[in-house]
Structure 1
Amino acid sequence: MFSAMVVCRFVHFSAVLLLFGGWVFRPLLPGTLSGPRQQVQGAYRGLAWLALASGLAWLLLTTFSMAGSWEDTLDLATLKLVLGSTFFGQVWTAHLLFNGLLLIALYTTAGFGLIAVVSFLLLATLAPVGHGAMLDGWQGQLLILNQMIHLLCVGAWVGGLPVLWWVLTRPAGVAVDAVLRRFSNVGFVLVAGIILTGLINTRVLTGALWPTPLFQGFALILLIKVVLVGLMLLLALFNLLMSRAGHFEVLRRSVALEWLFGVSAVAAVSLLGTLPPLVVS
């Protein structure tokens, strides 16, 4: 069941991050590319359905961990108790509601602003889940806020990369340099936000800037995540150089590789959220 939860978290995080990042990145595109919503609408609808399915699976797996059997898990009274009487359930009720609203918006004539706001709320309601709920009072609220900022930065970066790759596959008549400059300028802010909020999370959860022992459990997975983010940052700098040199074929492959590193980092986070932090005594 542990493996099922890790996979479920990975699928759900990936879908929600891609939904948020894709919509946030759209205003950075040239007007001729940001307009035709129908070209990517199918992909976003698919991601929203995937997010809903994995979100419901997450609820069932969490309920199973509390109830201890599938018979009790699938009992409506048990589900009602979890959703109404636990912190996770209350947060998850709002989360699933935003997921449903996003699906409705994607199947109607809702504008960019509404979909972007609902995507933001969908991602933001992931912050109180997992380690974000470890502390009580104002400290817990600040930790959730910090985790929310962390997720928003990650979502904008990882979710924006597929859109950037899509632009690079259609370079004719597109000022690729301008698009990359826009993405890079925002990217530097996002990277700074990811690093700062990540350090705060680690310090608060473990009592140290880095947990020890380094190559065990929580610390090892955290190290893998940091290495992957570092590789993404190096590739982002490489992409900027390739753009200035006009090597668009290399650039497309590099952006795709950067996105794969990002997805791998999300996989590491999905596992990390199920492990207890190594608290320094």
Structure 2
Amino acid sequence: MIELSPYALRLALYLALMLLFGRMLFIRPAPARRIFLPLAVIALAVVLLDAAVRVTGVLGLPLAAVDQATVAWFTTATPVGEAALVRALALLAMLPLLAASAKVAAARRVILLPLSAVALASLAWNGHAAAGDGIRGALRLAAGTVHLLAAGAWVGAIAAVLHLALRTQGPSLRERTHELWQVAHGFALPGTVIVALLAMTGTYTYVDLQGSLQTLFNTAHGRWLLFKLALVAGMLGLAALHRWRLVPALATAIRGGWQFRPLRSLRHSLTFEAALGLLVLACVAVLGTLDPLA
């Protein structure tokens, strides 16, 4: 039987780190204390909780029995612990920069963005992406890292555009809608690049792990992967709907006689896309624990 708590923890870990990186990547500087600082604090809390669960699981000890020597061994002598340490240090380094000012200035963002990328990329240091040696292992790790960063960019962009679509404070509704249109319209090219990177790195990794059509249909990993791909296909369909219909309709509503319906339709579609994205991450949380060939 599937244990829910480990999968939920993995889902929270992926979601927090992807939101932090993706929001930092695409949206212009925003109030730090309102968006990025809480995200960084939540991400750090999840990272520490994940590390605690892993070390107690490896040693079969209760959390109260874990001492300083155990923590030192875990973070310096195990690949999982080393990755968790780098993850935590990257997030800790972000906190004073985010708390120092109400705004994420451009100079701070130059430092914050690589730190958030390192925290997210460190998830690839364990599991399937790190299962290899030599050049082949390096290529697999690189593909896994790029796949994670591209996925984080997509998740963060969806969250950012949805936030703009749902916000009720600030300028007038028409001005907020115009800003939403600018951001959604400007995401067309980056979105295409992200999808291409996800497709190429995902295909390469699966083939490199000796995946085939047979394992795709006849293994638990393959069936979960098919479910994930079906969800991603749904997200791509919605992204196409946004680009070719809903966003142009929003522009028409802004230029011509104002109508609320295009904005409402885009809100609903973005909410549905975000829900599909959450299900995709849930699949990723399960896939990371399964053998691709079994």
TM-score by length of structure 1 reads 0.88
Aligned residues with identical type, % of pairs: 28
Note closer, same or farther for the CA distance 1:230–1:74 as it changes in structure 2 (3 Å cut): same
Shift of the alpha carbon at 1:178? 3.4
In the other structure, the counterpart of 1:202 is: 206
Within the candidate set 234, 237, 243, 1:234 is matched to 237
In the alignment, the residues of structure 2 paired with residue 249 and residue 73 of structure 1 have an alpha-carbon distance, to the nearest angstrom, of: 53
The one-character-per-residue Cα deviations of 1:210-245 (angstroms, maximum 9, x if unpaired) are 452626421111111111111000000111211112
In the other structure, the counterpart of 2:160 is: 163
| 1:135 counterpart SS class | coil
Note closer, same or farther for the CA distance 1:175–1:47 as it changes in structure 2 (3 Å cut): closer
Shift of the alpha carbon at 1:158? 1.0
Number of aligned pairs?
Answer: 269
Shift of the alpha carbon at 1:250? 0.2
Larger Rg: 2
Correspondence list, 1:258-277, <5 A: 258-277=273-292
Note closer, same or farther for the CA distance 1:262–1:213 as it changes in structure 2 (3 Å cut): closer
Output the amino acid matched with 1:145. A
In the other structure, the counterpart of 2:60 is: 68
In the other structure, the counterpart of 2:74 is: 82
Within the candidate set 140, 143, 149, 2:140 is matched to 143
In the alignment, the residues of structure 2 paired with residue 211 and residue 57 of structure 1 have an alpha-carbon distance, to the nearest angstrom, of: 37
- Does the 8 Å CA contact 2:211/2:292 hold for their aligned counterparts? no
- Does the 8 Å CA contact 2:231/2:276 hold for their aligned counterparts? yes
- Does the 8 Å CA contact 2:162/2:271 hold for their aligned counterparts? yes
Output the amino acid matched with 1:242. L
Correspondence list, 1:49-68, <5 A: 49-68=41-60
Note closer, same or farther for the CA distance 1:130–1:211 as it changes in structure 2 (3 Å cut): farther
Residues 1:185 and 2:185 are matched in the alignment: no
In the alignment, the residues of structure 2 paired with residue 177 and residue 79 of structure 1 have an alpha-carbon distance, to the nearest angstrom, of: 49
Shift of the alpha carbon at 1:182? 1.3
Please tell me the root mean square deviation across aligned C-alpha atoms, in Å: 2.1
- Does the 8 Å CA contact 2:232/2:280 hold for their aligned counterparts? yes
Output the amino acid matched with 1:25. F
Note closer, same or farther for the CA distance 1:145–1:126 as it changes in structure 2 (3 Å cut): same
In the alignment, the residues of structure 1 paired with residue 125 and residue 276 of structure 2 have an alpha-carbon distance, to the nearest angstrom, of: 25
TM-score by length of structure 2 reads 0.84
In the other structure, the counterpart of 1:222 is: 225
The one-character-per-residue Cα deviations of 1:184-210 (angstroms, maximum 9, x if unpaired) are 2110110111111111111112x1344
Unaligned regions of 5+ residues in structure 2, if any?
Answer: 168-172, 251-261
